[in-house]
């Protein structure tokens, strides 16, 4: 099959605080995907409402535009791909409801991300957090998606999406295409700098754990300098996430940004001290982030252009989504006229 006929879907929750982990695991690959696939890139603003608090109500519009500008800065091209904001295409919310009615409560209870929220937020947990995966399933299933590009932590949500779609198809003809994973092996999970057993997260309260795409050089330098390594003497720089989680995390960052493979890093850093190693890692990160920032600020200044791109993308997305939703409504005997 001509790959260009395959639809790739991906989304990120809006935040001006996207991290080097978001970049390496997800964003970095979108530019080249555009050459091979029909790409649909969404800004999942409705998902971000699940972490509603005072501060981010004021910042939401800014975060959405920041994210859009970051997509463009990373090489997503609105002439090649559909870029849109989730809330602009109301079919997502409509299909979400229908999928909720086809999802078992127990399936949602099993979701690790939800269970972690339950542990961490417990007494202020909103129902949106529980239903989060069915909205994600709606995002994916509306577009006859062949491949969903996700980081490792979202794998379980995609498995659930597949199960929901298969079950729905069994009762209602083959309405949904069953989506596959598109996961990049190296770098799909970048870890925290001070605690390399935990995923790097944009919502981490300790900013020393995280390199943000909008950090300045000085901040990046300090964060890399304070990143956990180990006390091997003489220093030993090679990839082994179990025995050397801190070093291995920095090596993954280095390798994915420099193009030097994880097999070659050992000889590349042979004889270097940890401090020299960190200087080199810093330089690679800093170069990459500076390039992104330059383009980011170029687009971010042009708010009207950003809004135009998002709305034109929404029109294209809506055209596809409506068609699918009308099939779903018909199959359920609902009488809405599309
Ligand atoms: N839940 C995803 C995340 O936090 C974002 C997302 C929303 C998504 N809808 C999606 C990813 C659909 C892939 C497909 O990373």
Q: What is this structure's pTM?
A: 0.92
**333 CA distance to ligand 1 centroid (A)?**
30
Q: What percentage of the chain reaches a pLDDT higher than 70?
A: 96
Pick from 77-81, 198-202, 214-218, 286-290: least confident: 198-202
User: Confidence band (pLDDT; 50, 70, 90) for 52?
Assistant: low
Gap between the Cα atoms of 324 and 336, Å rounded: 13
Question: Over the stretch 137-188, which tens digit does the pLDDT of each residue have?
Answer: 999 999 999 999 998 889 999 999 999 999 999 988 899 999 999 988 777 7
**All structural domains of the chain:** 3-183+303-331 (3.40.50.620), 207-297 (1.10.240.10)
**135 CA distance to ligand 1 centroid (A)?**
9
Cβ proximity of 83 and 33 under 8 Å = no
Task: Please identify, by atom number, the ligand 1 atom nearest to the C-alpha of residue 157.
Answer: 1
Question: Over the stretch 31-47, which tens digit does the pLDDT of each residue have?
Answer: 999 999 999 999 999 99
Cβ proximity of 82 and 316 under 8 Å = yes
Gap between the Cα atoms of 236 and 323, Å rounded: 57
Pick from 16-20, 255-259, 294-298, 300-304: least confident: 16-20
**269 CA distance to ligand 1 centroid (A)?**
36
pLDDT of residue 173: 81
Cα 194-15-123 angle, rounded to 5 deg: 75
11, 96, 134, 177: which to mutate for ligand 1, most atoms within 8 A of CB? Answer: 11
Gap between the Cα atoms of 246 and 239, Å rounded: 10
Task: Please identify, by atom number, the ligand 1 atom nearest to the C-alpha of residue 132.
Answer: 1
pLDDT of residue 53: 63
Gap between the Cα atoms of 282 and 304, Å rounded: 35
Does pLDDT of 54 surpass 60? no
Query: Which residues contact ligand 1 via a Cβ below 6 A?
Result: 9-13, 44, 47, 136, 139-140, 148, 150, 154
Of 256 and 125, more confident: 256
């Amino acid at each position: 099959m001509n790959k260009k006929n395959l639809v790739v879907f991906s989304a990120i929750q809006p935040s001006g605080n996207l991290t080097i982990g978001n970049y390496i695991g997800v964003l970095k690959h979108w530019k080249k995907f555009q050459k091979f696939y029909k790409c649909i890139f969404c800004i999942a603003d409705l998902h971000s409402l699940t972490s509603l608090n005072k501060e981010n109500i004021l910042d939401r519009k800014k975060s959405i535009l920041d994210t859009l500008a970051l997509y463009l800065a990373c090489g997503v091209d609105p002439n090649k791909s559909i870029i849109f904001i989730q809330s602009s295409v109301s079919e997502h919310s409509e299909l979400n409801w229908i999928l909720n009615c086809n999802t078992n409560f127990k399936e949602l209870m099993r979701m690790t991300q939800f269970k972690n929220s339950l542990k961490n937020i417990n007494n202020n947990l909103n129902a949106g957090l529980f239903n989060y995966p069915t909205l994600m399933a709606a995002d994916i299933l509306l577009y006859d998606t062949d491949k969903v590009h996700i980081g490792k932590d979202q794998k379980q949500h995609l498995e659930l999406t597949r199960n929901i779609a298969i079950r729905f198809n069994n009762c209602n003809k083959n309405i949904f295409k069953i989506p596959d994973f598109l996961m990049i092996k190296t770098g799909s999970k970048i870890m925290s700098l001070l605690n390399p057993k935990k995923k790097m997260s944009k919502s981490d309260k300790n900013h020393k754990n995280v390199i943000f795409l909008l950090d300045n050089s000085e901040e990046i330098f300090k964060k890399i300098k304070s990143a956990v390594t180990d006390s091997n003497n003489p220093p030993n720089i090679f990839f082994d996430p179990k025995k050397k989680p801190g070093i291995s995390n920095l090596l993954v960052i280095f390798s994915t940004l420099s193009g030097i493979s994880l097999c070659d890093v050992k000889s590349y850093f042979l004889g270097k001290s940890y401090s020299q190693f960190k200087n080199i890692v810093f330089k690679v990160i800093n170069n990459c982030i500076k390039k992104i920032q330059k383009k980011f600020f170029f687009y971010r200044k042009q708010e009207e252009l950003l809004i135009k791109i998002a709305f034109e993308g929404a029109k294209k997305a809506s055209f596809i989504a409506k068609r699918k939703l009308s099939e779903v409504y018909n199959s359920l005997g609902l009488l809405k006229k599309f």
